[in-house]
Structure 1
Amino acid sequence: MAEGNINNIESPILLGIIPARGGSKGIKNKNLRKVLDKPLIYYTIKDALSYKKIYKTIVTTDSLEIAEVAKKYGAEVPFIRPKRLAEDNTSMIEVLKHALMKCDQIYSLKINGIVLLDPTSPVRKKDDINEMIDIFIENRPDLVVAATKSKRNPYFNMVKINKSGYAQLVLKGNFVRRQDAPPIFDITNNCWIFSRQAILRGWRIPRKTIACETDGLYIDIDEEDDLKFFEYFLKSRKRK
């Protein structure tokens, strides 16, 4: 999206937001850990910059070190996130609301939506994300999420423990085969697209949510083995 034409278009103004706090559980300085000689956050910044319908790619961080690295690879860091919004119990909606209001003020425009790209879920297909953006623009929902078909189904083979200590199906249904149960999807973290309204009202999964089925591998990096697997994935992709 060309910045010079921002006032002459009808399409919503979308910000790409990459959240990357300095303190990380499990893997220390996770967002800056090197994978094939590049920090982990680089791979999501590179992706975000390739989506033409995203107006700007912003990294929201409380870390000056992450801010410098993010700017080196082409992202903008127009503000440093307050420490109160970088705690273990800080909700992502709070982080997005802060980013939305700051960018409204800094860039003197009204942001219509935020494309949330998690740097710890670095594997995403460009076509999938572009499709999600198009769905958001065409339908104007409160939220578009990336989702994959779940291998388990609460109507068929997922149980909870009741007060008597016995296992029972999570959802009741007279289904003999899993194929007969309603399809269930797992939400992934590689892309969420929120409307302005959903963010300001603090909605995590609002009523007008569209799940966009995406294909391919999904990696959520929480442990050292996840980093190793991501590196293996990148090497194998280079060989193709």
Structure 2
Amino acid sequence: MYAQRKVLAVVPARGGSKGVPLKNLRKIGGTSLVGHVGQLVRELGWIDRAVVSTDHPEIARTAEQAGLAAPFWRPAELSGDRIGDIPVLQHALQAMESIDGCEYDIILMLQPTSPLRLPEHVAATVEKLVQGNFDAVWTVSPTDLKYHPLKQLALDDDAMLGLWDQRGADIIARQQLKPVYHRNGAAYALTRACLLTQSALMGARSAAVVIDTPMLSIDSEDDLDQAECLLNKQASQHAPQLRVRQEGAAAPFKTFVVDIDGVLASLVANNDYTLSEPIQENIAIINRLYEAGHRIILFTARGSATGIDWQDVTRKQMTDWKVRFHALQFGKPAADYYIDDRLITLQEALQHC
């Protein structure tokens, strides 16, 4: 649940891809495309349900092994290569609401063909949807100005060359072009009303999250090769690697799961977390660990006792206090190190790195 809204993640993964047969089962970095989505969802603790919409038994089996649910079958009439996203999402939403006996507030489409997305990209998309009260939010990437729409050309029925958009005739310099963006497929978040009432992927009031890092939507064998290279480069910047301890022994980078209250925030009476103050010494350590390449997950039980949703307050505090982290989750975790004011301290954890 995100800000008291139930979130359904839908992973569209039909089996009939023509450009790359069974594309969603192809592997990059040793993991299938649908498996990458399962790994991503595990890092987003606020997703209530994550399901695959497929017509292929092997995709369903692989998705379930990756932690995604496959509780329904996509019908044949929604499995063709000319079927758009809207009817597929509508079918998935209605099927899950019938199965789960509830209504979902936010539908999050996570296409397997975008394996370079990071958890923070998805979280930012949902956060913008909620905070801006938008109908829909898409992730987009800046389009290189040399491919700007006003510079594109077209051929008519007689093979005569002309500008795709005649407004381009007035453009004489790159500096005159306004930035444009293209969808990168990393995440689409939309409200229930947008999907069912407006029957739209881009609602009447929509916004975007701009991703500046390389994104890729896989449609060909070349895309798979390129994704492998980009994923390796991304992993060198974000994932566990080897480094050397002072005494010379090799040690992998770790995942640090860090409690907030008593570690990064002062303890307060009556669980009124609006009164919390930052513990700057520990925040500085966390930021150093983040910058050194370790993965930082903030995991708090705020609200477990009171039933109050503290997500918005907590996110604002972490932003205001300039805490660097990869994911924020609510509950109780397990990881390489679970840092809690009642368990291992940051100082003790540092001795193992």
Q: Give the TM-score normalised by the residue count of structure 2.
A: 0.61
1:235 aligns with 2:232: yes
Q: Which residue of 1 aligns with 2:216?
A: 219
**Residue 86 of structure 1: CA displacement?**
0.8
**Residue 70 of structure 1: CA displacement?**
0.7
1:81 aligns with 2:78: no
**Alpha-carbon distance change, 167 to 58 in structure 1, aligned in 2, over 3 angstroms:** same
**Residue 38 of structure 1: CA displacement?**
2.1
Q: Which residue of 2 aligns with 1:158?
A: 152
Q: Deviations over 1:156-208 (max 9, x none)?
A: x2234467834125152644432333321111112111221221132133321
Identity score, percent: 28
Unaligned runs of 5+ in 1: 2-8
1:109 aligns with 2:105: no
The answer to whether the Cα contact below 8 Å between 2:7 and 2:48 also exists between their aligned partners in 1 is yes
SS in structure 2 opposite 1:57? strand
1:206 aligns with 2:203: yes
Amino acid corresponding to residue 170 of structure 1 in structure 2: D
Q: Which residue of 1 aligns with 2:47?
A: 54
Amino acid corresponding to residue 152 of structure 2 in structure 1: M
Higher mean C-alpha deviation, range 99-108 or range 35-44: 35-44
**Residue 238 of structure 1: CA displacement?**
4.1
Aligned residues: 232
SS in structure 2 opposite 1:106? helix
RMSD of aligned residue pairs (Cα, Å): 2.1
1:65-214, aligned counterparts within 5 Å? Answer: 65-151=58-144, 152-155=147-150, 157-161=151-155, 165-168=160-163, 170=165, 172=167, 174-200=170-196, 201-214=198-211
The answer to whether the Cα contact below 8 Å between 2:8 and 2:48 also exists between their aligned partners in 1 is yes
**Alpha-carbon distance change, 168 to 99 in structure 1, aligned in 2, over 3 angstroms:** same
The answer to whether the Cα contact below 8 Å between 2:110 and 2:186 also exists between their aligned partners in 1 is yes
**Residue 92 of structure 1: CA displacement?**
1.0
- Greater C-alpha radius of gyration: 2
The answer to whether the Cα contact below 8 Å between 1:16 and 1:114 also exists between their aligned partners in 2 is yes
Measure the CA separation in 1 of the matches of 2:47 and 2:176: 40
Larger RCO (CA under 8 A, 6+ residues apart): 1
**Residue 237 of structure 1: CA displacement?**
3.8
SS in structure 2 opposite 1:109? coil
**Alpha-carbon distance change, 212 to 171 in structure 1, aligned in 2, over 3 angstroms:** farther
SS in structure 1 opposite 2:213? coil
Amino acid corresponding to residue 225 of structure 1 in structure 2: D
The answer to whether the Cα contact below 8 Å between 1:146 and 1:192 also exists between their aligned partners in 2 is yes
Amino acid corresponding to residue 168 of structure 1 in structure 2: L
Q: Which residue of 2 aligns with 1:5?
A: none
Q: Deviations over 1:104-160 (max 9, x none)?
A: 1111111112111110111112222211110011122121011111113234x2234
Amino acid corresponding to residue 235 of structure 1 in structure 2: N
SS in structure 2 opposite 1:215? coil
Unaligned runs of 5+ in 2: 238-353
Measure the CA separation in 1 of the matches of 2:191 and 2:177: 31
Measure the CA separation in 2 of the matches of 1:238 and 1:184: 28
Amino acid corresponding to residue 174 of structure 2 in structure 1: R
Q: Which residue of 1 aligns with 2:343?
A: none
